Structure 1
Amino acid sequence: MPQPSVDQLLQNLHNNDEKLRERATQALWNTWFEQKGVVGLQRLQRAQLLLQTGQIERAIVLLDQLIAEMPDFAEAWNRRAVLYFTQQRYAAAIDDCQVVVHAIPIHFGAWSGMARCYAALNDYQQAIVAVRRALDLQPYALENQRLLLECTAQLT
């Protein structure tokens, strides 16, 4: 059975069928994680394991190395943005998310992450712009719907 195209996966994110949306979401994440083949995927997984075991600085060093070696590996930038977010380094996380969405404008995870960072910095206008972009891509994402409501409420 042929794999759905990225365009089809994006369409599926708008479908009423929750299971179809979940499969499309996972397929897009897999595409981004597997962009650089097995080597890139394994290094991302290793960074995730380091994060899960509390070795955040080692995870960042690994991602820094991966980005230096493969600067066009968008998911490496996105993973580092996630780590920066956990450290409340919001400006650095936003910078990395911007690299991701420049390379992959449909990366709903980076748009959502950027929105969360802007919200944490109380820049609700920018948070709304970013979360709306994420919702354009993934309209059923409840966390993003909530974030949009929360940021909008802060402006009123």
Structure 2
Amino acid sequence: MFTLLVSMAPVLAAAQPVPDLGPEVEPPSAEDFSPLPEDLPEEGGQVVVEETDPEEEQSRLDQLFADLADSEEPKASERAAREIQRIWMESGSDTVDILMSRAGQAIQAEDHALALDLLDVVVVLKPSYAEGWNRRATVHYMREDFGKSLVDIERTLAIEPRHWGALSGLAIIQRRLGFDTEALHTFKRALEVNPGLENATEAIEDLEKKAEGAPA
């Protein structure tokens, strides 16, 4: 997958304009980025990065991912997905949390330049924080800067290969650039991680029909 990201880079430069997304694949929107709570404590101008116990967090995530993949009850799956996303948002740093909150506000205001400035600091302060890379990848995507988005998706998946948001983003970009076979594979991988992704299910059905020569 990561080799594909690199090999796609020369294509990106000549890929404009790109075709519009079909209705079965929804790109991110500002509404997807509600800011974090406003009552996060300030640290008096000092950068504070607190590391969580990686083994404990990994154990929690592994169990939640197992619940997400195996549960036959939609509400239970939704709870597991929400809990995973909550853990993903935990940076372990009040400073990074504040920056992420401000970036979310900037995205909602469609101030992508400010959002990128804030997220640039996030990934420098906490390079092991997958959600910082993922959110920056999404802002690059919203600006249609697919090359930079792919680079940040790669960093996200290097930290958390099960990040279904990053996998879905990769699949959407692959599809927009005409890499249908690769997009199909990536959508399937996202669906394996989170079977509740309706957009991925619809995209897979559409791509499989297209591969069989049937009308999409």
**Displacement after TM superposition at 1:12 (Å):** 1.9
Corresponding position: 1:5 with 2:60 = yes
- Which amino acid is 2:169 matched to? G
Q: Distance in 2 between matches of 1:80 and 1:53?
A: 16
**Displacement after TM superposition at 1:39 (Å):** 2.5
**Displacement after TM superposition at 1:40 (Å):** 2.0
**Displacement after TM superposition at 1:36 (Å):** 2.9
Q: Distance in 2 between matches of 1:119 and 1:36?
A: 35
Structure 1 match to 2:76: 20
- Choose between structure 1 and 2 for higher RCO, CA contacts under 8 A separated by at least 6 residues: 2
Q: Deviations over 1:24-51 (max 9, x none)?
A: 1111111111033332222112101101
Which deviates more from structure 2 when the two are superposed, residues 136-145 or residues 33-42?
33-42
Q: Percent identity?
A: 25
Q: Distance in 2 between matches of 1:154 and 1:68?
A: 42
**Displacement after TM superposition at 1:13 (Å):** 1.3
Which of 71, 86, 90 lines up with 1:30 in the alignment?
86
CA contact (8 A) 2:96 2:125 kept: no
Corresponding position: 1:64 with 2:145 = no
- Which amino acid is 2:83 matched to? A
Which deviates more from structure 2 when the two are superposed, residues 99-108 or residues 89-98?
89-98
Q: Which has the higher helix share?
A: 1
**Displacement after TM superposition at 1:150 (Å):** 2.5
Unaligned stretches of 5+ residues in structure 2: 1-56
**Displacement after TM superposition at 1:69 (Å):** 2.2
Structure 2 match to 1:150: 206
**Which of 1 and 2 has greater Rg?**
2
CA contact (8 A) 1:134 1:144 kept: yes
**Displacement after TM superposition at 1:91 (Å):** 2.4
Q: Deviations over 1:45-68 (max 9, x none)?
A: 210110101111110111112112
Unaligned stretches of 5+ residues in structure 1: none
CA contact (8 A) 1:34 1:40 kept: no
Q: Distance in 1 between matches of 2:118 and 2:209?
A: 39
CA contact (8 A) 1:111 1:130 kept: yes
Q: Distance in 2 between matches of 1:94 and 1:152?
A: 24
Question: For 1:88-127, what aligned pairs fall within 5 Å after superposition?
Answer: 88-127=144-183
Between the two proteins, the alignment pairs up a number of residues equal to 154
Secondary structure of 1:140's counterpart equals: coil
